[in-house]
Amino acid sequence: MIVYRITTEQWSKSLEASGYAARWNAKGRFVIYTAGSRSLACLENLVHRSGEWQGKMYKVMLIEFPDKIKMDTIEASDLKKNWEQINNFFYCQSMAFNWLNNATVAILKVPSVIIKKEYNYLINPQHPDFKLIKLIGAEDFNFDQRF
């Protein structure tokens, strides 16, 4: 399986997590966010960068999970009503907390807030199976100037 991550050129050469708080992880918890498609990765960037992407060089990273690697899944139907609202970040972080702490699998498949029925794939870089996950390429990526 191949997933996608769009980042500035300087961060596109390796799989690293920042430790910044986000929807599925608290500050200081290292998680690599990826998307199931290039287009979803693009939309995630547009939402989270708030127009700060202009004038920078970007790459779309192609990341491969081997077929034998296991993942857990959280479906939107598993979550409480309005889970996607910004005031429910703590709720989403708590849902992923056990995944990170138990470290039974390296990948957590979570629903996209932006596109219903599409998914983001979170990678735990501290899991032993992380070494099986490969960055197989990075391609130039340009946001359409109309954004």
Kindly tell me the sign of the dihedral angle through the C-alpha atoms of 111, 115, 117, 121. negative
- Torsion of the alpha carbons at 15, 20, 24 and 29, rounded to the nearest 10: 80
Report pLDDT digits (tens) over 59-77: 999 999 999 999 999 999 9
Report pLDDT digits (tens) over 67-123: 999 999 999 999 999 999 988 888 988 888 889 888 889 999 999 999 999 999 999
- Domain borders along the chain are 2-141
**Predicted TM-score of the model (pTM):** 0.91
